[in-house]
A and B are shown apart, each in its own frame.
Chain A
């Protein structure tokens, strides 16, 4: 596939693959799998060693193992939040794009309102109101991210309506359902996929921010953001405590962003190039 030629996208894919592997095989890969729940106060704040590859945290738990289990949380949050945003945002965008009356305007104005507020702030407000927990974080993130999907889908649907093949298939007698499901959606799939990939990165970052602020899942959940928050008072001595989750967040978000950029380059120009070839 052409994606393979894009080095940075490939790198992003590798990073994400690592994340997924870490999450799936956490119990196997972790050196101290029980440290998610157990406490070993005697071993607190040990530097990285042969036993504890990334050192221990303030409770004496193995940072490396908790990191792996934290990957599960990260993926869970990312997938569900982006998935929920997609499920809400795409239909809203489709409906607003297809119809042209006051109803579409209302839908898009509502999504504009959500977009106008900075995502982190809104997520904080929602999480604050509902209380810190994993489901609430996911809810807060979905509620703030769906307008991005709606907007992309709306713009693409409107643009597609101008295309001759859409108008002519409608003239052929195709119902709006058929048009939308079989013609519009497949043609706007690429921007949606790109947005989803970038959205994963953004969502994970915001989730980490919420965790950092204490609005995420409560301890002992090994969520990365919360781990960084915990590590603050022990810096700069216990540098491994903050660096490990920090680096993990960084690499994960970068991975999704690189993949998203690569996908965008692959999926869109190819369509344009093939259309241009048919004009010649």
Chain B
């Protein structure tokens, strides 16, 4: 990570709300999926974005990707504002900024042969000739460890793992600078997960990629990400170097989250686990600090003022008492 370099991705006060409509179509409220979030991602790093369901991490990924347009706030990629571009210009950004779904195999058109799916990104974004495209595709296939024979097959003729590799290869043909990985190991067996993570690592090295790694699995994020941002109900509550955050979490939610993760070989964490209740719905975000309804340190000020994300010793925390 180059301290002097400019961030590759800068998110400034990003907001993304979804309207809630009743049976007549009238808007009765908002789902505040992303509610004022700021973040920077530096070239070459792997930033982890963790949180539980409803925290907005997936919405954040999709909004950065352009699948949703921001309700407010800015997104700057390689110095250029991309949140409010016209459609055609936004599509061109896809060359450098890509998104991997939880199941990359599902991103393939079932009626297209693998070779066509792999050529497609190059057809959309470049003017390479057919032989030039073939060369690129061949190189990528080798990089993800798939034989040329697979080119002639349909997705359903491949195994789940092979489909996943094809889905990744498709994105890599563009040689993007940054890839957003959205829950890439969710639901996978531990040994399969290990293979997938190894693949991501080798891709990162081979193609000099920058990753934003969205996951609810803290063990995976800890192994893969040098920096980590913890989200709760649409905002970041803690941000810092992974090792430091895991060692000394400063935000009460981070502490509870880490305390809930089983530690094989250690004491049973559930014996000491104290966080009660469920997270509030993003429709009904509590005033002041969002975590106050479940926080063991709650005081009066927490209901009145929302704590800003402040930096203390290289760590950013949003808590009045950090």
Contact = CB atoms under 8 A, between A and B. Distances in A.
The answer to A–B direct touch (Cβ < 8 A) is yes
Interface of A: 163-165, 167-175, 178, 183, 186-187, 271, 274-275, 277-279
6 contacts: A172-B94, A172-B174, A173-B95, A175-B88, A187-B110, A277-B156
A171 B124 contact: no
B155 A278 contact: yes
B110 A271 contact: yes
B134 interface: no
B124 A173 contact: yes
B98 A171 contact: yes
Contact of B66 (A171, A174, A186): A171
Contacts of A172: 94, 98, 120-121, 124, 170-171, 174
B103 interface: yes
Interface string B162-176: 010001001100100
A274 B124 contact: no
B160 interface: yes
A169 B109 contact: yes
B61 to A, nearest CB: 10
A187 B92 CA distance: 26
Contact of A169 (B110, B120, B125, B158): B120
In terms of DSSP, what is the predominant structure of the interface of chain B?
A: helix
Contacts of B94: 171-173
A182 to B, nearest CB: 8
Contact of A165 (B65, B88, B99, B106): B106
Interface in B278-314: none
Interface in B174-202: 174
Nearest to B173: A172
A271 B167 CA distance: 20
A173 B108 contact: no
Contacts of B43: none
Nearest to A189: B111
Contacts of A164: 101, 103, 106-107
Contacts of B93: 173
Contact of A174 (B91, B98, B101, B156): B91
B156 to A, nearest CB: 4
Given A173-B94, A278-B156, A183 B109 contact: yes
Contacts of A183: 109
Nearest to A166: B109
B163 A168 contact: no
B67 interface: yes
A160 to B, nearest CB: 10
Contacts of B99: 168, 171
Contacts of A170: 67
Contact of B107 (A169, A186, A274): A169
A167 to B, nearest CB: 7
Contacts of A173: 91-95, 121, 124-125
B42 interface: no
A175 B125 CA distance: 11
B160 A278 contact: yes
A246 to B, nearest CB: 42
B110 A165 contact: yes
A217 to B, nearest CB: 42
B299 to A, nearest CB: 44
B30 interface: no
A274 B110 CA distance: 9
Nearest to B167: A168
B9 to A, nearest CB: 16
A171 B167 CA distance: 13
A187 B108 CA distance: 13
B154 interface: yes
B83 interface: no
A131 B316 CA distance: 80
Contact of B158 (A163, A165, A278): A278
Contact of B124 (A165, A178, A271, A278): A178
Nearest to B108: A165
B105 interface: yes
Contacts of B101: 164, 168
Contacts of A186: 111
Given A172-B124, A178-B124, A274 B156 contact: yes
A175 B121 CA distance: 11
Given A173-B92, A187-B110, A187-B111, 10 more contacts: A165-B107, A165-B108, A165-B109, A169-B120, A171-B67, A171-B94, A172-B120, A172-B171, A172-B174, A173-B124
